[in-house]
Structures are given as structure tokens and as C-alpha cells.
């Protein structure tokens, strides 16, 4: 008797499944605005020049393939925490950050969720509405209960700040509040510095624990320091907090699966104990992380010339997306005679634009115009170039009305 016979077909992933459908489409007009992955003006994947230089260096040096420690490459863990907080940050100086290399952002979030499940039984994670499509899967599989805080306001196509604050205030004391450090996915709407202060106030007052997902540091504004502003604001208040990091976008290391989980504790001793428990959770999950991406990051950050070249390439990538955003706005404004205000497209930050297109309208974009996007109305501007903005504007205007 077949034991696997009863297993049903899983649905395609809402984000990664879009790329599969795109690949199957033979129409040459097709455009992949689904997955959040950078493409050049020629719509080709991009390996940063600085990554190729680092890899050549590593090849010349000759690297062995020994296991990394469970917590990952020590040089990477040092570099990644310093990139996030700044090398002279008191949390770094006082050794209050437990940093463990994770399997990119997803794996780092998943390891943190396992820590929450084990040490904070019954604690809830509050996630923004809407949020990145995989957050709910991660907490569901880690058996960590979650609920949503209001975030996107379709009426203003902006942040429902009052709703966000109210929901965080109403959450049971000691909840984990999942926050996008910068370039909110999928809305592209970030709190202002003043709003971040108020968010920190309400979190502190309720003894909640801030949990940042930082997947776009340096990619949103082009500046690593500017994009870490929200995290550093909370750390400066002396709060304990968790931060998951990813180098998929800002260093283009998508498939290398390189990221980290950082837990800021109130003492160095607590950080040591937290790190030991993260290792205990990682060992049976994947034992130890892959070395290649960690060495690329460590080599780039430790060499001033390479580090500066990386910063320049980040600014170039962020700049290209800003240009495309402007051109799309101009095309929509010129083509849409309805008088609709499309300026929200210019106000949004980072890789995505939240168009406000409904599920059926998004499906029309694909079925009639061969534009591939996620069903929540999100488009990845990284998959768009100046030449295609007019066509995309035609598709959006047609689908919208």
C-alpha cells in the first residue's frame, strides 16, 4: 500500500510561483514584475562587480570546505552586526548583540521564530497588514501565533498610522512587533522618523519586543546608514530587539542564502546565553550555514576599496529604480485621462510599488497584457526598465478602469 498516495498538491507560492508562470509564457511582450529581484535596464539578473572581485580574490587564496561553526563565519557575524548598528554603537562595544549567520532573511526569521516558540510560549507576533507573503508561513510552521496590525490605508494609499499605533497598543503586553526596517514589502510605504519615534514609544510602554526584518538595507535609499535608521533609533533607546538581515538584494546574493539574526540583549552575558540557544536550535535544523556568501560579505566589508565600490553599486541600483519609478509615474499621468492621482508611486520607497490593483485587475494584467505581478497588486520595479514603462502604463490604465 502506498503511504504517500494521500499527499495532495501544494498551491504555487504567491511570489515565487509567479516567476514559474512567467517562464512558461512564450509571448515576447512578457514582463516579470513578480519576484523582488534586481534586473538591469536590459532586464537581466545582475551580479555586482564587487562580488566578482571578491570571488576572484577567494579563488586565488584557495579556500577549504571545512564546516563553519554552528553560528556561522565569525568574520561575517562581526561585519554584519557592525553594518547594521554601526561599529561604534554601544550595543556593539558592550557586546550585547547575539549574532548568528542564517540562511538569508528567511532562515534568520525562521530561527528567531524557533527561539520565540521555545522561550516565549504563548507570545504573539504582530505583523503588518499587508506584509511579505512568507511571514505568515514562517510563524505558522514555527507554531508561533500571529495577528495583524493595521498598516496600509487604501483610501489614502498611505500608512494607517493611527490604526497601527492602536493595534500595537491593544496587543497583549510583551508581544513581538514585526517591523520592516526600510522599504516596506509590499507597500513601499515607510514610517517617517517622527512616526518611528512614536512607534518606539508605544512598544516601550507596553513592554513589547521589536522584531525588525531588514531585507533591503542600502537598497532603499542607496545608503546603508540611512536605511538602518529605524533599527538604530530603537537600539539607542536601550531596548532589547531582534533583527533579521538579508544580503539577497543589496549585494545580489539571492541564491547564496546569506543573512543573519541579531538579538540585542540588556547584558553581554544574556547575549552569550541567547547565542548558545540559537546554536542549539540551528544544529538540528541545518547544522551549520553555507560558507561562500559569508566570505563574500566579509571580504567586501573588510576591504575599504571593495566596500566603497559596493556602496557605489548600491546607489546605482537604487538610482535605476528611482528613475523607473519616475518614468512610470510620468507615463501613467500622461495616459490616464481619468484624473486619478498617481503620485503615490513617487512617494513609495524601495523595490516595490503597491498599485492598488485588485486581484482580478492583477489577473487581467497577466492574462491580457502578459505582465506578471503578485495578486495583492504589488509590482517589482526592479523588473522594469525605462523602455517598458509606456507599455506597463497602458496595461495598468486598461486594467484599472
213 belongs to the catalytic site = yes
Residue 246 interacting with ligand KET (CB under 6 A): yes
Of 248, 331, 348, 385, the residue at the interface with ligand KET (CB under 6 A) is: 248
C-alpha cell at 314: 548600491
Q: Which residues contact 307 (CB under 8 A, 6 or more apart)?
A: 300, 301
Catalytic residue among 213, 227, 327, 375: 213
Catalytic residue among 124, 132, 160, 295: 132
Q: Closest CB to ligand KET among 392 and 397?
A: 392
Strand ranges of the sheet holding 97-103, from the earlier edge strand across to the other edge: 97-103, 258-264, 241-246, 209-214, 176-180, 125-129, 146-150
Give phi and psi for 24, each to the nearest 5. -75, -15
Binding mask 134-153 for ligand KET (x = CB under 6 A): x-------------------
Catalytic residue among 249, 275, 327, 388: 249
Residue 128 interacting with ligand KET (CB under 6 A): no
Of 188, 218, 222, 259, the residue at the interface with ligand KET (CB under 6 A) is: 259
Q: Where are the alpha helices (DSSP H) in 41-183?
A: 49-61, 74-85, 90-93, 104-119, 135-141, 161-170
Of 101-109, 273-281, 301-309, 340-348, the window that binds ligand KET (rule: CB under 6 A) is 101-109
Tell the smallest beta-carbon distance from residue 288 to ligand KET (Å).
18
Binding mask 208-237 for ligand KET (x = CB under 6 A): -----x-x----------------------
Q: Which residue has the cell 542607496?
A: 222
Burial of 259 (0-12, 13-18, 19+ CB in 10 A): buried
Of 32, 80, 101, 185, the residue at the interface with ligand KET (CB under 6 A) is: 185
**Integer angstrom CA distances of residue 59 from 253, 292, 309, 326, 341:** 17, 11, 20, 41, 52
Using CB under 6 A, list all residues that contact ligand KET: 15, 35-36, 104-106, 132, 134, 180, 185, 213, 215, 246, 248, 254, 259
Catalytic positions are: 132, 213, 249
Amino acid at each position: 500500500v502506498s503511504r504517500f498516495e494521500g499527499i495532495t498538491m501544494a498551491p504555487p507560492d504567491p511570489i515565487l510561483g509567479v516567476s514559474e508562470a512567467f517562464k512558461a509564457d512564450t509571448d515576447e511582450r512578457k514582463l516579470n514584475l513578480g519576484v523582488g529581484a534586481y534586473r538591469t535596464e536590459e532586464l537581466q539578473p545582475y551580479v555586482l562587480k564587487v562580488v566578482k572581485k571578491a570571488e576572484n580574490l577567494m579563488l586565488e587564496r584557495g579556500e577549504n570546505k571545512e564546516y563553519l561553526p554552528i553560528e556561522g563565519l565569525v568574520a561575517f557575524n562581526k561585519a554584519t552586526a557592525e553594518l547594521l548598528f554601526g561599529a561604534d554603537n554601544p550595543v556593539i562595544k558592550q557586546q550585547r548583540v547575539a549574532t548568528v549567520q542564517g540562511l538569508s532573511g528567511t532562515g534568520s526569521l525562521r530561527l528567531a521564530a524557533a527561539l520565540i516558540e521555545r522561550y516565549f510560549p504563548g507570545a504573539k507576533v504582530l505583523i503588518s497588514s499587508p506584509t511579505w507573503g512568507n511571514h505568515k508561513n514562517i510563524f505558522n510552521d514555527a507554531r508561533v501565533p500571529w495577528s495583524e496590525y493595521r498598516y496600509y490605508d487604501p483610501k489614502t494609499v498611505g500608512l494607517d498610522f493611527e490604526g497601527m499605533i492602536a493595534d500595537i497598543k491593544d496587543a497583549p503586553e510583551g508581544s513581538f512587533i514585526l517591523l520592516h526596517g526600510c522599504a516596506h514589502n509590499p507597500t513601499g510605504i515607510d514610517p517617517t522618523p517622527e512616526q518611528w519615534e512614536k512607534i518606539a514609544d508605544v512598544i516601550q510602554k507596553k513592554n513589547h519586543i521589536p522584531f525588525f526584518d531588514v531585507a533591503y538595507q542600502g537598497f532603499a535609499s542607496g545608503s546603508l546608514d540611512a536605511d538602518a535608521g529605524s533599527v538604530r533609533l530603537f537600539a539607542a533607546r536601550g531596548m532589547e530587539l531582534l533583527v533579521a538581515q538579508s544580503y539577497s538584494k543589496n549585494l545580489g546574493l539571492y541564491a547564496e542564502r546569506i543573512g543573519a539574526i541579531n538579538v540585542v540583549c540588556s547584558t553581554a552575558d544574556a547575549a552569550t546565553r541567547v547565542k548558545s540557544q540559537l546554536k542549539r536550535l540551528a544544529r538540528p535544523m541545518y547544522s551549520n550555514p553555507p560558507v561562500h556568501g559569508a566570505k563574500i560579505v566579509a571580504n567586501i566589508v573588510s576591504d575599504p576599496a571593495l566596500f566603497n565600490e559596493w556602496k557605489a553599486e548600491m546607489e546605482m541600483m537604487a538610482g535605476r529604480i528611482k528613475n523607473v519609478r519616475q518614468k512610470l509615474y510620468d507615463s501613467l499621468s500622461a495616459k490616464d485621462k481619468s484624473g486619478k492621482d498617481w503620485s503615490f508611486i513617487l512617494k513609495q520607497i524601495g523595490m516595490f510599488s503597491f498599485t492598488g490593483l485588485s486581484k482580478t485587475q492583477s489577473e487581467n494584467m497577466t492574462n491580457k497584457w502578459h505582465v506578471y505581478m503578485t495578486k495583492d497588486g504589488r509590482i517589482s520595479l526592479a523588473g522594469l526598465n525605462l523602455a517598458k514603462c509606456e507599455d506597463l502604463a497602458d496595461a495598468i490604465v486598461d486594467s484599472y478602469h
